[in-house]
Structure 1
Amino acid sequence: MRVALLMGGVSREREISLRSGERVKKALEKLGYEYTVFDVKEDFLKEVDQLKSFDVVFNVLHGTFGEDGTLQAILDFLGIRYTGSDAFSSMICFDKLATYRFLKDIVEIPDFIEIREFMETSPLGYPCVVKPRREGSSIGVFICESDEEFQHAIKEDLPQYGSVIVQEYIPGREMTVSILETEKGFEVLPILELRPKRRFYDYVAKYTKGETEFILPAPLNPSEERLVKEMALKAFVEAGCRGFGRVDGIFSDGRFYFLEINTVPGLTETSDLPASAKAGGIEFEELVEIILKSAFLKGEVRA
């Protein structure tokens, strides 16, 4: 099998994608796969036809272009098989507002509102969360306790994104649920509880070793564990996700509040999904092979 490994990209998550890609590359080497690395940059479309000579694309492009459905739509059009969710699901999940509207009757979501112009005070009171509609790795996310902090967050995000989400802040335990698709169906990996040493699980806490404590498996009683896994899997399946992914949320007072679905989650040495996989007895090389093989489960190019 010839594998095209896509890494890098043009989003603000480029460096994380390169880290994920380097780790996947080493795994492919150990597994004995024939592969070619494509460092995706702005001129990538000039060479996209080269991908037709490969059996499958292993996509580790995080953020805009690689995770928002754009790449997936191009690959579908060209009839090229790839890892992860299809164009529609990727588009929905990358846009948090679209995700919330799509899943509002399926899972419990903290109150939210979209704003497109400057406001002096939060319409949802304090504390609240301000975040971009379309972004990853907690880039542009602020927890605001006052008008001053809220105004700062809006001034930072609105010029860059044009639209931001203001969301109710739910105090509780940050949890992430990783899901793999295998021949047996969807497998929910051990729940990971995140205990960042910073205000919340932001970009620095995600990708700096020692900045977040991983609790695996999360200390939950059987009924709580069942609830979190069921809600995460329900969101993942309802959104039409495939292959692999991660559902993030807050566990508070016996309830699981959905926050987002990551359709191309990080595969770095500090990333959540590999940690959950290892806790479930799946070493990194095996994880890479499971993700790779999941692209073939339907027996045809996804469309």
Structure 2
Amino acid sequence: MRKRARIAVIGGGQNCEHDVSCASAAAVRAALDPSRYDAVSLTIGRDGTWHGPGGQPLDPSTSGSLAAAVDVLATCDVVLPLVHGPLGEDGTLAALCELAGVPYVGSPVRAGALAMDKWATKLVAEAVGVRTAPGRLVTRSSTVDFTGPVVVKPVAAGSSFGVRLVEHEEDLGPAIEAALELDERVLVEEVITGREIDIAVLDDPDEGRRTGPPLEIVVSSGLFDTTVKYDGSADFVIPAPLTDVEAKALSDAALRVYEVLGCRDIARVDFFLTDEGFVLNEVNTMPGMTAQSQVPKMFAAAGLSYPDLLDRLIRSAAAR
């Protein structure tokens, strides 16, 4: 990289996580050391139009803005694609960077697509011995019998959008319909009773692949849904109070799933810890990246500051 590296920071996106992605991108831009990095702001509008610094469209026509964005990316040393959810985290932006020939932070195309698909993630995890919640895949043509409390969630959406706990039979149909508004496929899973524990995995250019201190999400009641996730009512306990055996088992499982999915650079692997052991919930290949998000807080607890975490991610991408 040149002495002051040019870093494209992409936020926004064409999905329900648009605002969350904008927050991640803004926080990253503010945290990058200006003596080392020249942060170039790019934002994907809800309509797909690309915007540059100051929010101005890169091209007056929507059809031309993507070409203009590729021109900007070609001038950059590294891309930080901070678009969570579909048309971003699902491998879409990774594919764009691959085609443009620009190094980027995060998982490659296949890993992003697999991890974004919660059904595919379940199949991969079960194949390597990591247990997941029993459930079934549902489409608009499916018939679902209510067998007890279930969690309904879109197969490919993030930030808990569309996720509902269904405790009564009459609520199952509306919950599935709401999830189908976000994805054409829906998961209906058995409710898992246990502690919510997250493990962050980092490909550290200085120390090699490692996990951060485990984080426990403590909520007063119900699910860790979209409202609770962003209203500040949840507590993050770092490190989570675990036995050495539990901590090692969770770390090993997170690393195993990260590797078999083909993840790279950074990911957050979410589990439930039950009386019968741990159960994988999901994998986020581009988790929230503000200083107050789970992954930066986990590594901060291990002594790796937010700017240093970003620096290591950028250096990893630049070295490829």
**Same-fold status (TM-score > 0.5):** yes
The alpha-carbon deviation at position 121 of structure 1 amounts to 5.1
- Aligned residue identity for 2:258: F
The alpha-carbon distance between structure 1 residues 50 and 239, as it changes in their structure 2 partners (threshold 3 A), is same
The answer to whether the Cα contact below 8 Å between 1:30 and 1:285 also exists between their aligned partners in 2 is: no
| Structure 2 unmatched runs, 5+ | 51-65
CA-to-aligned-CA distance 1:259-294 (integer Å, 9 cap, x gap): 111000001243110111111111111111112112
1:38-49 to structure 2, matched below 5 A, reads 38-41=42-45, 42-44=48-50, 45-47=66-68, 48-49=70-71
Contact 1:206 1:270 (C-alpha < 8 Å) held by counterparts = no
- Is 1:86 the counterpart of 2:108? The answer is yes
* TM-superposed deviation, 1:152: 2.0
1:72 aligns with 2:78: no
| Of 21-30 and 84-93, the range deviating more from structure 2 | 21-30
Of the three residues 172, 176, 185, the one matched with 1:163 is 185
Query: Partner residue of 2:29?
Result: 25
1:207 matched to 2:230: yes
Unaligned ranges ≥5, structure 1: none
Do 2:269 and 2:282's aligned partners in 1 also have CA atoms closer than 8 Å?
Answer: yes
Instruction: Please list the CA deviations of residues 66-103 of structure 1 after superposition, one character each: whole Å capped at 9, or x if unmatched.
Output: 10111111211121110000011000001111111222
Structure 1: which 4+ aligned runs deviate by more than 6 Å? none
Counterpart contact for 2:77–2:318, Cα < 8 Å: no
Identity value in percent = 32
Within the candidate set 246, 259, 265, 1:243 is matched to: 265
- Cα 1:165/1:77, change in 2 over 3 Å: same
- CA–CA distance in structure 1, aligned partners of residues 126 and 318 of structure 2: 31
Provide the rounded CA distance (Å) in 2 between the counterparts of 1:121 and 1:55.
50
> What residue is the counterpart of 1:230 in the other structure?
252
Residues in 2 aligned to 1:74 and 1:105: alpha-carbon distance in whole angstroms: 30
Aligned CA-pair RMSD: 1.6
Residues 154, 182 of structure 2: 8 Å contact kept? no
Q: Give 1:9's aligned amino acid.
A: G
1:34 is matched with which residue? 38
CA distance in 1, matches of 2:236, 2:317: 29
Q: Does 1:103 align with 2:107?
A: no
* Closer, same or farther: CA 30–54 of 1 in aligned 2, 3 Å: closer
Letter in 1 for 2:6: R
Q: CA deviation digits over 1:116-151, x for unaligned, max 9?
A: 13667545x221111001100010011111112212
TM-score, structure 1 as length reference: 0.93
